[in-house]
Homo-oligomer: A and B are copies of this chain.
Amino acid sequence: MKKVVNHPDKVVQDMLDGFVKAHHTSMKRIPDTTVIIRQEAPISGKVGLVSGGGSGHEPAHAGYVGKGMLDAAVVGEVFTSPTPDQVLEAIKAVDSGAGVLLIIKNYTGDVMNFEMAAELAEAEGITVDKVIVNDDVAVEDSTFTTGRRGIAGTVLVHRVAGAVAETGASLAEVKQAAEKVVRNVRSMGLALTACTVPAAGKPSFTLHDNEIEIGTGIHGEPGIERVPLQTAEEMSERLVEKILADKDYTNSEVAIMINGMGATPEMELYIVYREVERLLHKHGIAVYRAWVGEYMTSLEMAGFSVTLLAVDHEIKQALSTPVETIAFR
């Protein structure tokens, strides 16, 4: 395992240490926790927004703390949901009395830990509500199973909910805006290489030199299908078609996110963007705005995901408000 670390067991603490040192003017860490909050939290009258999850997805989620997005990010061990006590600390730190919205990616662990935190917070008299993001169309949506996962689309939920919260909207209104994004956002990814959890010391799966894995999650989980290496155009088409089969974006206007998984050069992400935009135009889908870069990574995995969000007036309005975070503009 070739990594720039001091000790595999120390990566999260060392990273958080570096993060708050580098960004101390806008960010702080609640002492003895793995919670990063806005320097000015809690903000009087504003609904608090808390998200988080395992680490290894940087810049998610601490990179999205700031004006127009989150109030707090709760950081777990690598690819492991944070624990209820940490989430509770975040909730308490950002609640100004207007209530707190939890933005949770749909994984069994995340949902259970955040829900336990919500129960604890309610017991302390804080109003807490939640939205669960499940944008990954690689996974079938079924009420009998765990359902679709939350992946890069989560960032757009942070953004829209954050913008609405910034206006002084109520918890119900912020939640409504977040849920509208959840309903309208779909993503899917693929991997060219696996990644290595530092404490595990070996890659989560192995791919041959000419193989890619379609539909991988953001935790080095295997995907849904293994196919030979393809061109950028073919890979883009595969993801776009799968997304469009899940949700019909024809004649709508969309925001696009092309998200690198960690090791894919930006050059390649822009090539993907080119192909995705061409495909969407063919389907009569107009592009409102695009983000191309690393937003929700899986350590040093090579690969990318495509996210589409149908935008209406309200979402466009939210996406065009000021945003001041480390990783999102």
How distant is the Cα of A55 from the Cα of B267 in the complex, in angstroms? 8
Contact B232 A6 (CB under 8 A): yes
Say which residue of B5, B21, B300, B329 sits within 8 Å of A273 (CB atoms). Answer: B21
How distant is the Cα of A327 from the Cα of B300 in the complex, in angstroms? 20
A10-18, A91-99, A167-175: which lies at the B interface? Answer: A10-18
Give a binary string over A286-329; 1 marks a CB under 8 Å from any B CB, 0 the rest. 00001010100101101010000000000000000000000001
State how many residues of chain A have any CB contact under 8 Å with chain B. 57
Copies of chain A in the complex: 2
A229 and chain B: residue at smallest CB distance: B2
A14 and chain B: residue at smallest CB distance: B271
Most buried by B among A15, A209, A329: A15
Question: Chain B nearest CB: distance from A201 CB in Å?
Answer: 12
CB of A76 within 8 A of chain B? no
How distant is the Cα of A262 from the Cα of B265 in the complex, in angstroms? 6
Contact B299 A265 (CB under 8 A): yes
Say which residue of B58, B192, B266, B277 sits within 8 Å of A58 (CB atoms). Answer: B266
Contact A58 B11 (CB under 8 A): no
Contact A58 B15 (CB under 8 A): no
How distant is the Cα of A235 from the Cα of B6 in the complex, in angstroms? 10
Give a binary string over A263-290; 1 marks a CB under 8 Å from any B CB, 0 the rest. 1111111111111010000000000001
A22 and chain B: residue at smallest CB distance: B290
- Taking chain A's interface residues, is the majority helix, strand, or loop, or is none over half, making it mixed? mixed
Contact B292 A18 (CB under 8 A): yes
Contact B209 A270 (CB under 8 A): no
How distant is the Cα of A271 from the Cα of B7 in the complex, in angstroms? 11
Contact B266 A4 (CB under 8 A): no
Contact B274 A21 (CB under 8 A): yes
Contact A4 B290 (CB under 8 A): no
CB of A119 within 8 A of chain B? no
Contact A4 B235 (CB under 8 A): yes
CB of A222 within 8 A of chain B? no
Say which residue of B59, B210, B271 sits within 8 Å of A5 (CB atoms). Answer: B271
Most buried by B among A6, A209, A258, A266: A266
CB of A143 within 8 A of chain B? no
Name the B residues within 8 Å of A55 (CB-CB): 267
Instruction: Report if A19-B232 is in contact (Cβ < 8 Å); known contacts: A264-B300, A299-B265.
Output: no
Contact A232 B268 (CB under 8 A): no
How distant is the Cα of A109 from the Cα of B55 in the complex, in angstroms? 42
Contact A5 B299 (CB under 8 A): no
Name the B residues within 8 Å of A11 (CB-CB): 267-268, 271
A-B CB contact pairs (8 Å), 14 listed: A2-B229, A3-B265, A4-B232, A4-B272, A4-B304, A6-B231, A11-B271, A19-B270, A19-B292, A22-B258, A22-B277, A22-B290, A23-B290, A266-B297
Among all A-B residue pairs, the 9 with the closest Cβ atoms: A18-B274, A18-B270, A263-B263, A58-B266, A4-B268, A18-B273, A22-B290, A14-B271, A15-B270
